[in-house]
Structure 1
Amino acid sequence: MNFGYVFPWDIVGDPAAPERLAATGVDAIALAVSYHSTRAATPFHPAHRVLEVSHSAFYLPVRRSAFGALVPRNLSWTAPDAFIQARDALRAAGLPVHAWTVLTHNSLLGDAHPGLTVRNAFGDMYPHALCPAHEDVVEYCARLVAEVAELGEPDGIILEACGPMGVTHQSVHDKTPAADWDPTQAALLSLCFCTACVRKYPDTLRARVRAAVDAPAPDSSLEGVLGELAGPVREARLNLTATLLHSVTAATNLSIRLHASADPWATGSFSPLTDSTSGRGLGGVVALCWGSDEEATANVAQLVEPGRRLGAYTTILPPKAVCPESLGRTFRALGEAGADELHVYHLGLASPGRLAALAGALKG
């Protein structure tokens, strides 16, 4: 099965959108139901070309009584029931709809509840990053998925950011690249020291992390920097993801696919997948495949497991060439590496030429 990813506003107000998407050859749509702030191009929409999505939002009616301390926000840039309207239009065109659900990436709730967000070893808050070490965050995610299943009635659910977020993948204009943090420093800055997390760590961890961020050892890995502390810290963080995933999958009987990473230290949209998390009610996992074909196929190969469906999250957006033959080679390579599904980002953001290239690649 091949999934095309879209936003609700790509469909609502554009009667031609469902048939246009079906014509690309995708088998199903991953339709955003809970998503963070963004600035989106809408190349086909009759009413606009650029949409400013100013905050994280829920694209179903918000029932305050269904939530606890954390409550998602509705929106002003499209209809309050945009998911339902888009779902029905897509199904009428013969496309099943899976609810693309972002969990812990939510700057609106992070700003409103700073005590529930990730904080690095220097005490800096990441408002885009809700920390799943807090019971209120886990409860919010589980209730959100339950509402998606009940109100949205999708054919399945695709989870993004089902675990800790980190220093990257934020929600504002980023001005950090000139600090030249290498991957190890970025990983250290992604370790959370909020009030809930710090109780799970050895007392000496914060000082070691701060020192390593400012004076990194040449060519040192995260495990090398943390030394004997690496094992306990890694297990504490993996347990957060496992607990969150268990709560979320228990909230619905629908098939769930998880955006996942084989890296036990992963933060961001793709959650760490280990033996403690891989068997928890998942209908499949999806690997990040946005880099070169070599990088993408390596990510797929790391998540191959007999009997488990595996998707490849690939893109048709820049820097990908507008070329069906090139896309076709990438798609075939991902399948040969072990992917059962393509998850294609993003059919609503793509130009007419890119959609045509996708259609050619899938047909080929």
Structure 2
Amino acid sequence: MQSSVLAFATDLIDEGADTFFGNLTERAGVGGLTLASVYHAARDVFPHHPTRVVRYLEPGAAYFRPDPARWAGQRLAPVAAGAIGERDPFAEAAEQTRRRGLKLHAWTVFCHNDRLGFQHPDCAPANAFGDRHLTELCPANPEVRAYAHTLVDELARYGVDAIRAESLHFHGLRHGYHHERYFEQLGAVAEALLGLCFCPHCRSAARAQGVPAEEVQQVVSTEIRRRLADDRAAAEPAALDRLADGALAAYVDAAAATVTSLAAELAERAGRQGMRLSFMDGDGPGAGWLAGIDLPALTAAGVGIETLGYARTPEAVREKVAAFALHGVRPADLAVILRPMAQDCDGPANLAAKITTLRELGVPEVEFYNYGLMRLHSMDRIGAALHG
């Protein structure tokens, strides 16, 4: 079983290569590093950081040095994080992993990008009223797709073994924006409908599938208004697949085809350059329909799947993996992320039992979240669990 720890480039920069990689190899004993290459905004607490406890991560920043020639003529382009200065953490990580015999994975956030969404609103998803969700990029937009393709090419020059593709899909209304507020209860249906994209590119993709996109948009906007006007209406259940006489379900299916085609293109592009691409499905099987996640279609297109195995017990981890099989994803096609921290694990035996469960199921890869956000004794748990 391959193993890796997810980490931020700032961990490497702030701790230095010897301490950082020493913890990975001597304490955790893993065979790889999964380093964030492009990441979203965050404010985190770092328990073992040498000089600070709280750090902010810049919105939509790149933690490598973008090659200007590759991005010539493209409006959407990554911007190097100010925290890395003149350094290239990915080049440093590539050199260190090669020297130490470790795999290097690029943990890459594609469509959740506040920086680019605010700079280029026309590339962000639009709800049924035309309001742009500026914390995201729409995967149907041709410029967004070109950005994603070029990003894969950039990562290939570092000798990356695999790309862990996070947020390579649509997002719902609630996605943790700063001071995001909902003083009235919107209800699950209104929230779901407000998360659908009706930008010109998504409507065009739906029409190409024979879906009356404008009619669906009108039905959705009317239904949202009805639920916003009255709290009793907001609480009403609704079968989303029956709205607009079933056309809404077809519209969502068209969005899923958009996501699948982009992921397949990127996986093929990565493969031509010696890399694997795994689609990170954080919510698990059956939960991503409105985000455009079609697991059977993704695996049929040759896209690997990575999921969160966040759970207190090995039995719960087993159930999470088994649920994927019901959606056409074999354990052999999965990578699973575990948390060795206290909210999931009470010690190395618990973590070891989860790893044993994954091995028994045939899961080939396990990753651990997250280097800088865990106490150092959680790194020791990883080593004890992996190597007894």
TM-score by length of 1: 0.87
Distance 1:186 1:90, change over 3 A: farther
Which of the numbers 194, 211, 215 marks the counterpart of 1:204?
215
Distance 1:179 1:296, change over 3 A: farther
Q: Percent identity?
A: 25
Which of the numbers 12, 31, 35 marks the counterpart of 1:27?
31
* Deviation string, structure 1 residues 216-265 (Cα, Å, up to 9, x no partner): 46444433556512442132111111221133123332122221353374
SS state of the match for residue 178, structure 2? coil
Which of the numbers 91, 94, 109 marks the counterpart of 1:87?
94
Taking only aligned residues, the RMSD between alpha carbons, in angstroms, comes to 2.8
Matches within 5 A, 1:8-47: 8-14=9-15, 15-22=18-25, 23-47=27-51
- Please tell me whether residue 345 in structure 1 is matched to residue 369 in structure 2: yes
Matches within 5 A, 1:1-364: 1-14=2-15, 15-22=18-25, 23-67=27-71, 68-79=74-85, 80-150=87-157, 152-176=158-182, 179-181=184-186, 183-199=188-204, 200=206, 202=212, 203-213=214-224, 214=227, 215-216=233-234, 218-225=236-243, 227-252=245-270, 253=272, 254-260=275-281, 261-263=284-286, 265-266=288-289, 272-282=293-303, 284-291=304-311, 293=313, 296-304=317-325, 305-306=329-330, 308-317=332-341, 319-336=343-360, 339-364=363-388
Structure whose CA Rg is larger:
2
SS state of the match for residue 52, structure 2? coil
Per-residue deviation, 1:273: 3.4
Distance 1:129 1:58, change over 3 A: same
Per-residue deviation, 1:331: 3.6
Distance 1:313 1:38, change over 3 A: same
CA distance in 1, matches of 2:128, 2:66: 35
TM-score by length of 2: 0.82
SS state of the match for residue 262, structure 1? coil
CA distance in 2, matches of 1:85, 1:233: 45
Q: Which moved more, 1:351-360 or 1:125-134?
A: 351-360
SS state of the match for residue 154, structure 1? coil
* Deviation string, structure 1 residues 6-48 (Cα, Å, up to 9, x no partner): 1111112423110111221322111111111112333333343
SS state of the match for residue 127, structure 1? coil
CA distance in 1, matches of 2:346, 2:261: 42
Per-residue deviation, 1:327: 2.8
Q: Give the helix-richer structure, 1 or 2.
A: 2
Q: Which moved more, 1:228-237 or 1:210-219?
A: 210-219
CA distance in 1, matches of 2:59, 2:66: 15
Q: Could you list the runs of 5+ residues in structure 1 that have no partner in the other structure?
A: none
CA distance in 2, matches of 1:132, 1:104: 7
* Deviation string, structure 1 residues 72-99 (Cα, Å, up to 9, x no partner): 1112112441121133234434321111
CA distance in 1, matches of 2:290, 2:13: 32
CA distance in 2, matches of 1:337, 1:308: 8
8 Å CA contact retained: 2:324, 2:330? no
8 Å CA contact retained: 2:288, 2:294? no
Per-residue deviation, 1:181: 4.8
Q: Which amino acid aligns with 1:245?
A: A
Q: Could you list the runs of 5+ residues in structure 2 that have no partner in the other structure?
A: 228-232
SS state of the match for residue 272, structure 1? coil
Per-residue deviation, 1:144: 0.6
Number of residues of Structure 1 aligned to a counterpart in Structure 2 = 359
Runs of 4+ residues deviating >6 angstroms = none
Per-residue deviation, 1:320: 2.4
SS state of the match for residue 197, structure 1? helix
